[in-house]
Amino acid sequence: MTGEKTKKIRDPLFHIIKRGSIVWWKSALIRVSAVLIALIVVAIITLLITGQNPFEMYKAMVDGAIGNELRIWNLLQDTALLLVVGLALTLSFKMRFWNIGGQGQIIMGAVAATACMKFLPGKVPDFALYLIMIASALIAGGLWALIPGIFKAFLNTNETLFTLMMNYIALNFAAFLTFRWSKNSGNNVIGIINRKSHAGWFPEIGGSGFVGRNFLLNILIVFVIMLIVFVYLKYSKHGYEISVVGESEKTARYIGINVKKVIIRTVVISGAICGLAGLILVSGVHHTLTTDIEGGRGFTAIIVSWMAHFNPLYMALTSFLIVFLEKGAIQVASSPALNLDDNFANIVTGIIILFIIGCEFFINYKIVFRKRKGGVS
């Protein structure tokens, strides 16, 4: 009788439960396997498209990323540039404020820096120029984040959609300015600003024999920002408030934190650091303003930050991973043997990122297979 009854219950083959915790090596193993599987998938796809030997491709990839000294410096600089945006966004994410407006905030910082570089030299002393540039980039980025922040704090306006829209306003604003500021009006190219005087350019470090002279300062700045953000989040009272607000607004109110103030303050800092990233892009890297100067970092950094579980130090690692793949893939694509479009890199990184996103499931959840119950119930 009872035997019949238990049969009727559809016992699922497995069920999913949330993990309380996971030992570090297990989660590391899951992530590494995800990347490996992704690389295999990429290899298969490359094989299908091009008929190339995948091992040759990986060799080319490594070569593309770290094949010579210049490439290594480029790799490090791009890692830093992605990292700084990731750090900026992490401040918001820790508070569960989905700032996907990094793109707009970077662009506004870049616009502010460009404006200073273009119009101030000759009018203010050099060191003042730098100070004004830094201040204006911080303010421009911060302001661009302040607007959605205020509405989030007071009206609970959806910040994901708001910051997304702000990106395109900034982008079109930058497009407008690149047009207005372009040398031969109408070609949308501003060209290198202050090519001779180097006013507003970040100084080179080391002699002309040093390959990294144009890269080192950018990397160092980001390194310092990383340490500051790490300390800010982990050791400062502000950082503590961010965590409490992000984890539970109810607790925040219970201990008397002014939630609105924390939201606005944090979002502004987040935007300001994005603005700083814009400044580095203009003064330290490109020395001009283009509409694609942001290079998709606002979005990629979200993935970087999330993959690092919002830990600033891990983020250096995840940024490095993404940039390494991108650089390698670009090199592969442009190698004479394949002669593919640069966008191949986006496909490769896209696939790998999707695998990494998917593998988080196995870190957060556990699949438990039902044990076959004995005949006696």
Partner 1 sequence: MEQIPALELKNITKTFGSIVANKDVSLCAEKGEILAILGENGSGKTTLMNMISGIYYPDAGQIFINGKEVVITSPKDAFDNGIGMIHQHFKLVDVLTAAENIVLGLKGRFNLKSAVKEVSSIAKKYGFEIDPMKKIYEMSVSEKQTVEIIKVLYRNANILILDEPTAVLTPQETSKLFDVLRRMKDEGKTIIIITHKLHEVLSLSDRVAVLRKGEYICTIQTSEADESILTEAMVGKKVSLNIERVQPKDPVDRLIVKDLQCLNREGVPVLQDVSFSAKAGEILGIAGIAGSGQRELLEAIAGLQHISSGNITYIDPKTDKQENLRDKTPVQIRQLGVRLSFVPEDRLGMGLVGNMDIVDNMMLRSYGKGKSVFLKRKEPRDLANEIISSLEVVTPSASTPVRRLSGGNVQKVLVGREIASTPTVLMAAYPVRGLDINSSYMIYSLLNQQKANGVAVIFVGEDLDVLVELCDRIMVIGSGRIAGIVDGRKATKEQIGLLMTKNFKEPAEDDRTEDTN
Partner 2 sequence: MFEAFLSKFVYVLTSSINNGMPVLFGATGEILTEKSGHLNLGIPGVMAVGGISGVIAAFFYGQVPEMNPFLTIIIPMLACLIGSLVMGLIYCFLTVTLRANQNVTGLALTTFGIGIGNFFGASIIKITHVDIPSVRIDATSKLFKSTLPFASKLGWFGEIFLSYRFLVYLGLIIAFIASFILFKTRIGLHLRAVGENPATADAAGINVNKYKYFATCIGSMIAGLGGFFYCIDKNGWSNDTIEPLGWIAIALVIFAIWKPHMAVVGAILFGLLLNLYDLIPALGLNIKFPQGYDKLFKMIPYIVTIIVLIITSARKKREYQPPSHLGLSYFREDR
Question: Does the footprint of partner 2 cover residue 176 (CB under 8 A)?
Answer: yes
Provide the token pair at 371. 């044990």
Question: Does the footprint of partner 2 cover residue 339 (CB under 8 A)?
Answer: yes
Question: Does the footprint of partner 1 cover residue 21 (CB under 8 A)?
Answer: yes
Separation in Å, CA 184 to CA 179, 180, 187, 188, 190:
9, 10, 6, 8, 8
Question: Does the footprint of partner 2 cover residue 354 (CB under 8 A)?
Answer: yes
Query: What is the spatial distance between Cα 310 and Cα 192, in angstroms, rounded to a whole number?
Result: 36
Nearest Cα neighbor of 105 from 139, 50, 145, 134 is: 145
Residue 169 and residue 145 in contact, taking contact as beta carbons nearer than 8 Å: no
Q: How far is the CB of 332 from partner 2 (least distance, A)?
A: 12
Total chain residues near partner 1 (CB under 8 A) = 23
Residue 119's binding partner among partner 1, partner 2, none (Cβ under 5 to 8 angstroms by kind) is: none
Q: How far is the CB of 269 from partner 2 (least distance, A)?
A: 21
57, 302, 315, 316: which one contacts partner 2 (CB under 8 A)? 302
Q: How far is the CB of 86 from partner 1 (least distance, A)?
A: 21
* 254-273 footprint of partner 1 as x/- string (CB under 8 A): xxx-----------------
Query: What is the spatial distance between Cα 113 and Cα 281, in angstroms, rounded to a whole number?
Result: 9
Residue 161's binding partner among partner 2, partner 1, none (Cβ under 5 to 8 angstroms by kind) is: partner 2
119, 240, 361, 365: which one contacts partner 1 (CB under 8 A)? 240
Contacts of 54 (CB under 8 A, 6+ apart): 43, 44, 46, 47
Q: How far is the CB of 329 from partner 2 (least distance, A)?
A: 10
Residue 373's binding partner among partner 1, partner 2, none (Cβ under 5 to 8 angstroms by kind) is: none
304-332 CB burial, b ≥16 within 10 A, e <16: bbbbbebbbeebbebbbbbbbbbbbbbbb
Name the residues that contact partner 1, by CB under 8 A. Answer: 1, 5, 8-10, 20-21, 235-240, 243-244, 247-248, 250-251, 253-256
